[in-house]
Amino acid sequence: MTETARIEAFSDGVFAIAITLLVLDLKVPKEAEHGHTLAAALAAQWPAYLAFVTSFLTILVMWINHHRMFTLIGRSDDRLLFYNGLLLMGVTLVPFPTSLVAEHLRDEGERVAAFVYNGTFIYLGICFNLLWHRAAVDDRLLDPRANRAAVQRISDAYRYGPIGYFAAFALAFVSVIGSLALNLGLALYFALPHKGNSEC
């Protein structure tokens, strides 16, 4: 068992719970109460579907990137554990802003909901940087066999994460849907496989 195995196992459990809780925002519509057909009632819930897909993919990508990091991290210390805990706190928070967006996307509260949603991902982007910085600077906690190209690619990619999420936050002043679309685009960007990312 590696030194970081317990960190990874605990983190995987938190990611799994957070990603599962997202489905609770998908409700069976009571179409009869509103005089709508089932098809119309299902279609009317599109904000919940959009929020679910965006947040599910984002958490999935965060889990993938967390795994990529820990294929390169060989040791841990108290600060790494603390930063990982801060990251997981943000992960467990994701279902809440997802619910806000799903509930308010079509009313006057949609911009505030988008700010909370984007603010959550700004926080997560900062936490990823803190965690990786703690491990990678001066090879402090990296596995001696870690692929140097993979280390550099992660460092380069994470540098722009918080900037992208700040841009999504700012975009919400103009277009809430555009802001959510940018969040989805950022998730896809960070999901892109980079040769060597999982090699040691």
Q: What is the pLDDT of residues 23-71, one digit of tens each?
A: 887 787 776 556 678 888 888 888 888 888 888 888 998 899 999 899 9
The pLDDT value recorded for residue 53 is: 85
Asked if residue 170 has pLDDT above 90, the reply is yes
**CB 160 within 8 Å of CB 186:** no
How many beta carbons lie within 10 A of that of residue 105, not counting itself? 19
CA 172 to CA 122: how far, in whole Å? 13
The pLDDT value recorded for residue 198 is: 40
Mean pLDDT of 165-194: 85
Weakest mean pLDDT among 8-12, 58-62, 155-159, 166-170: 155-159
The pLDDT value recorded for residue 199 is: 38
The pLDDT value recorded for residue 200 is: 34
The beta strand positions in 35-152, using DSSP E, are none
Weakest mean pLDDT among 27-31, 64-68, 164-168, 175-179: 27-31
The domain locations on the chain are 5-191
Integer distance in angstroms from the first to the last C-alpha of the chain? 16
User: Which pTM value belongs to this model?
Assistant: 0.84
Three-state secondary structure call for residue 75: coil
